[in-house]
Structure 1
């Protein structure tokens, strides 16, 4: 039990935002007898173990313990593994990912650069004698082989450790086989580069060549004796990695999969199941067109199954495309102002649901996660539910207000639920809708409780979360305001989950009314809401202002003292706020901001702002370093604290430095806090803790509040 004397900033940092000790990464065996997952032993233990729950008894067992496997030695991570974890924002240790065979009897995982396999029924695990460091080991469906990546080559080894060999080796230093390229891993949600056939006789293997991608160097100024790290970074308007795909049999023979890579260079999704031929989703660079392609496994030729086009952009979703039984295409698409699930040519959902992901494709139904669509009678602010969809209709599976997701197989569903009433997540194992077991959650209990109120603000009904200091009463008077948004694409913050608002509550307890608003551009509402920011990110700021003013009549807000804080897109939005609306915002904490969109990656930036060579005026209008607000008169200059990790290879520190230079050239005082050795994440305990404390100190100074 955590001592009540432990401060929230320290606890928040030590527990990695209360994620340590929480079960995650669930798999259900096809026969429904076991649930495989990862979990560390406590709320402060970073090392995940591979766990198995027997659904017949409800008992848990350890299938693989990194401490025992490494004999107490410290874990060693290769630079390639560190880069993979950065792309997935993975801050824990031990077993951070695994893959299983078709029967879910054998698991493979990488630990300290070595391939391990675990027999899940026997509870034994062992290393395979292969040359590392290895990345992404995956068993064949029949459990006889393990494919993995080492040294940029796709290799295969027998599960007994025999016959280790390369199936595809890189031709030069710029080429890899079996790995996702930067934009696939960072922006497309594709973290894999090879896929086994259902018959275990061949693989689809991606070849990525980043030779044409421009080189950047990430230095470590705190250690001038260290060489800068070279990265291939595809900034907006510059070349991407070239991605090709090969059908590769186990003797190394291969056939290239052919499609129009000039028009559709992005390999966004690959699906290969026993329900049909390999299925690809490939996108045009402007992401306004995409093809669903079926692959001929003998010739490598492809045929077009479906074509999607959109005048703004096409979103990518988890779990699709896929084949339904009978060979019908399962996809999520924007139709008639709604985001719907379609099977074949038939939409199965309407405007009452806003589909987020496909969770499972069953024999007679499809499991999806969704929020309330604009046609819903109840807006259900911040909620997300699990639904079962078939030809006859839609049925909600999750129960109670909150945020729910699920994994399903063999008639068993793992339901993972969060709510406002309780911290953390609850994991229930269901069969036929009845609970048969639960998975223990070892995450720590927070030392504070979030008293969040979810509401809507303004004529646009902007989703908002409002938090006041614990114990606040009306007689305490109006409060200085802290806007605490992400506010941009792929970053929904107003959710009906307790832990999501803990940091905001801590800031509130420092004497602020804290508001989080999900304006246009954020997900979870409607396609039109998300796509409104095309060519104009400044609409995000307009909605923050609208939400603030709308809530002022309902909550004790002192509009003469309004600050804003954010990270990444939220950092961009925070800087934008004090530059463009100093009449509203009086101070900003600007964390890891994108300040010049020409320095951010292709797939993300061009989706929203187009090609910088074709639309330079759009990039200029959305830039902070050339913003007209830099030249405002002295009485409109607002304090700004810029925070950035020097090792960030996603939003590189050049963004912060260019903003600082522009501010200095304009004679605008500001503060810069460089974080040595810190990437886009801040997993280091002392850094994460002190960042919160320093932000409060800056906000108090800037707003003229007692310190």
Structure 2
């Protein structure tokens, strides 16, 4: 008997296990280092190497051979993995020296360094559990964080010393704070100098941040976990920067803005990027590491907000700045002061700079993500087929990953300088679903929409109940030309639903104006657009959709949107499953919430309009609330307070608390049964 989709999806971490990822190409293009598990159900990630000349793959590090206990992780590492949505174990992150001769990584809090030439892996002695080890550019030393201190160990002599130690229990050196990791995609807090004799280090003091307590009611003998959570309108952690020399010197790098979005240190400059708390002004500075004095290079402003874009700042060989900014209605690539992409091509990220060439991802059609290069003279498309692409580039060699609706899984190819393509195989499991997905535009705003029908349904043969399956929030997409985006939706369709997935205003790929149209209102546009998409699809499939039976499900922002739908528009939506919903935006974090809604003390009415509590008395449809009690991102208080408001209003609803479960729901049994319970609830609710 074959394994059910819910069980297989849970065991394979939604079919991500066995997929190659985290690529590093040597400067000469001769080798590619990457991570991959040994099978599609093996959760232990290994480090691999591919010789691009011989096409021979080699297993470099197998954590099982090192007898590393993956369950014994320091709490800082568990938090880092939660922020990065890391579902696997083993070597989930690594760092190399400049020439990729060595790699450093942490396993169960222990520090390891592997030499690629010999294949020898060494465990290094450290005074405590290790977080985020990074090799110096010459590979002779490794820096790491332990107990909030930033330390450096010499690989030759074994000498190990602290460059900075925390002055109190609320201080750390070298770690990204919660907001940087959760909302800015910055997972690091220190950067080596190219010369290897100093580091730029972030000091974080969480003392001003309010303390929340996350309890485990299922285990009352365990004390609640104290967490400093910067909710909207409350203080953030205080961040500072220092250049710490290996000679013991310490130079402060002052900046005035609330947020440090990123930093970069290459042979051209030490650069830092800052963002004001209202996120309307982003500044790029170069810093003199000897004095800490900074010079303003660029300032970008926007009446709504300035986007944080990964991969910048960077520099070409001649020192020209590589940057991305909104200009003339588009998110555009800048080289120096010149925009080198048209406003119609929405640049998403800079992936690599290889001497005088820039590799970046961009969209013309929001459902597709393509690769392009700028070679100093012209724009050249790298990906030519329909789909979603990403990649790396170094030494004239590229790594190309491709996904589409036409093929299962992720295809990874190394493209050599001579044009030969060398595949890196994926070991991911096959989902075993016959996808029936149609991408198109629907509604008055021509929203990107996917219609997912049961594989057995004959069009026009009868009307199906409808399941809206959105995320719906800003800066995230569901409707993309790749099979992996619709596996769960297809499984729900096989249970007898016509599933609609729609990306409304705020989602990327259609330009700054479309993204910023959710300013000061996270509720109305999101809900209007789901209704608009539903009505548009109903016009396209008049004989297949039963609009008297429409349900909606979602997680996180999607959970908020699902609850919002049945509360405010019961005439359209007849049942909802809201997983880990944000119910009161005052309970969500500063950076994300204030970007869209401003400061709650300055415009409380904006927060009221986007809250669900005032609508509690309106509930007349079945609503299932699901929440992990260990969630430290959208805390369980969101669901519990909404449930209390519904109870006070005398409104019947269901709550499913998940003991010990975080925002990711990584546990296999939980992930499997959550799908089954949702289907059961929706079928009963819709009759």
Q: Which residue of 1 aligns with 2:535?
A: 549
The one of 256, 261, 265 aligned to 2:252: 256
The one of 428, 433, 436 aligned to 2:413: 428
The one of 653, 663, 667 aligned to 2:646: 663
Confirm whether residue 536 of structure 1 aligns to residue 524 of structure 2: no
Alignment partner of 1:51: what SS?
A: strand
1:416-467 Cα distance to aligned partner (Å, 9 max, x none):
1111111110000002472331111000011213221101101211000111
Confirm whether residue 446 of structure 1 aligns to residue 431 of structure 2: yes
In structure 2, distance between residues paired with 1:292 and 1:327: 15
The one of 652, 677, 687 aligned to 2:635: 652
Confirm whether residue 106 of structure 1 aligns to residue 106 of structure 2: no
Give 1:525 deviation, angstroms: 1.5
Q: Which residue of 2 aligns with 1:42?
A: 39
Give 1:672 deviation, angstroms: 0.1
Q: Given that residues 130 and 161 in structure 1 are in contact (C-alpha distance below 8 angstroms), is that contact kept between their aligned partners in structure 2? A: no
Give 1:582 deviation, angstroms: 0.7
Give 1:362 deviation, angstroms: 2.5
Q: Which residue of 1 aligns with 2:350?
A: 358
Q: Which residue of 2 aligns with 1:344?
A: 336
Confirm whether residue 173 of structure 1 aligns to residue 159 of structure 2: no
Q: Given that residues 451 and 467 in structure 1 are in contact (C-alpha distance below 8 angstroms), is that contact kept between their aligned partners in structure 2? A: yes
Q: Which residue of 2 aligns with 1:282?
A: 274
In structure 2, distance between residues paired with 1:474 and 1:645: 39
1:572–1:140 Cα change, 3 Å: same
Q: Which residue of 2 aligns with 1:268?
A: 261
Give 1:252 deviation, angstroms: 2.5
Q: Which residue of 2 aligns with 1:455?
A: 440
Q: Which residue of 1 aligns with 2:359?
A: 367
Q: Which residue of 1 aligns with 2:500?
A: 515
Once the two structures are superposed, the pairs formed by residues 454-533 of structure 1 within 5 Å of their partners are 454-533=439-518
Confirm whether residue 130 of structure 1 aligns to residue 130 of structure 2: no
In structure 2, distance between residues paired with 1:557 and 1:490: 29
Q: Given that residues 48 and 93 in structure 1 are in contact (C-alpha distance below 8 angstroms), is that contact kept between their aligned partners in structure 2? A: yes
Give 1:386 deviation, angstroms: 0.2
Alignment partner of 2:220: what SS?
A: coil
Q: Which residue of 2 aligns with 1:329?
A: 321
Alignment partner of 1:142: what SS?
A: coil
In structure 1, distance between residues paired with 2:417 and 2:529: 43
Alignment partner of 2:448: what SS?
A: strand
In structure 2, distance between residues paired with 1:626 and 1:366: 50
Alignment partner of 1:532: what SS?
A: helix
Q: Given that residues 388 and 404 in structure 2 are in contact (C-alpha distance below 8 angstroms), is that contact kept between their aligned partners in structure 1? A: yes
In structure 2, distance between residues paired with 1:237 and 1:649: 18
1:405–1:433 Cα change, 3 Å: farther
Give 1:573 deviation, angstroms: 0.5
The one of 55, 65, 84 aligned to 1:68: 65
In structure 2, distance between residues paired with 1:74 and 1:94: 6
Confirm whether residue 573 of structure 1 aligns to residue 561 of structure 2: yes
Q: Which residue of 1 aligns with 2:297?
A: 305
In structure 1, distance between residues paired with 2:108 and 2:250: 31
Q: Given that residues 55 and 436 in structure 1 are in contact (C-alpha distance below 8 angstroms), is that contact kept between their aligned partners in structure 2? A: no
Q: Given that residues 449 and 502 in structure 1 are in contact (C-alpha distance below 8 angstroms), is that contact kept between their aligned partners in structure 2? A: no
Confirm whether residue 678 of structure 1 aligns to residue 666 of structure 2: no
In structure 2, distance between residues paired with 1:251 and 1:613: 47
1:506-526 Cα distance to aligned partner (Å, 9 max, x none):
000000000000000111221
1:64–1:411 Cα change, 3 Å: same
In structure 1, distance between residues paired with 2:684 and 2:33: 50
Give 1:65 deviation, angstroms: 0.9
In structure 1, distance between residues paired with 2:519 and 2:197: 45
In structure 2, distance between residues paired with 1:321 and 1:666: 52
Q: Given that residues 479 and 558 in structure 1 are in contact (C-alpha distance below 8 angstroms), is that contact kept between their aligned partners in structure 2? A: yes
In structure 2, distance between residues paired with 1:151 and 1:451: 51
Q: TM (normalized to structure 2)?
A: 0.98
Confirm whether residue 637 of structure 1 aligns to residue 628 of structure 2: no
Confirm whether residue 238 of structure 1 aligns to residue 234 of structure 2: yes
Give 1:327 deviation, angstroms: 2.4
Q: Given that residues 43 and 444 in structure 1 are in contact (C-alpha distance below 8 angstroms), is that contact kept between their aligned partners in structure 2? A: yes
Q: Which residue of 2 aligns with 1:415?
A: 400
Alignment partner of 2:9: what SS?
A: helix
Give 1:665 deviation, angstroms: 1.1
In structure 2, distance between residues paired with 1:225 and 1:236: 32
The one of 188, 192, 201 aligned to 1:192: 188
Alignment partner of 2:347: what SS?
A: strand
Q: Given that residues 592 and 653 in structure 1 are in contact (C-alpha distance below 8 angstroms), is that contact kept between their aligned partners in structure 2? A: yes
Confirm whether residue 152 of structure 1 aligns to residue 138 of structure 2: no
In structure 2, distance between residues paired with 1:391 and 1:540: 40
Give 1:251 deviation, angstroms: 2.8
Task: Please report the RMSD computed on the Cα atoms of aligned residues, expressed in angstroms.
Answer: 1.2
Give 1:363 deviation, angstroms: 2.3
In structure 2, distance between residues paired with 1:325 and 1:125: 34
In structure 1, distance between residues paired with 2:379 and 2:244: 41
Alignment partner of 2:143: what SS?
A: strand
Give 1:75 deviation, angstroms: 4.2
Give 1:226 deviation, angstroms: 0.4
Give 1:554 deviation, angstroms: 1.4
Q: Given that residues 7 and 447 in structure 1 are in contact (C-alpha distance below 8 angstroms), is that contact kept between their aligned partners in structure 2? A: no
Q: Which residue of 1 aligns with 2:614?
A: 626
Q: Given that residues 274 and 284 in structure 2 are in contact (C-alpha distance below 8 angstroms), is that contact kept between their aligned partners in structure 1? A: yes
Q: Which residue of 2 aligns with 1:376?
A: none
Alignment partner of 1:423: what SS?
A: strand
The one of 594, 597, 618 aligned to 1:609: 597
Q: Given that residues 75 and 112 in structure 1 are in contact (C-alpha distance below 8 angstroms), is that contact kept between their aligned partners in structure 2? A: yes
Confirm whether residue 54 of structure 1 aligns to residue 51 of structure 2: yes
Runs of 4+ in 1 over 6 A off after TM superposition: none
In structure 2, distance between residues paired with 1:229 and 1:76: 18
In structure 2, distance between residues paired with 1:205 and 1:216: 27
In structure 2, distance between residues paired with 1:433 and 1:609: 51
Q: Which residue of 2 aligns with 1:26?
A: 23
Confirm whether residue 291 of structure 1 aligns to residue 283 of structure 2: yes
Alignment partner of 1:279: what SS?
A: strand
Give 1:93 deviation, angstroms: 0.5
Q: Which residue of 1 aligns with 2:575?
A: 587
In structure 2, distance between residues paired with 1:100 and 1:606: 36
Q: Which residue of 1 aligns with 2:199?
A: 203
Q: Which residue of 1 aligns with 2:367?
A: 382
Q: Given that residues 214 and 233 in structure 1 are in contact (C-alpha distance below 8 angstroms), is that contact kept between their aligned partners in structure 2? A: yes
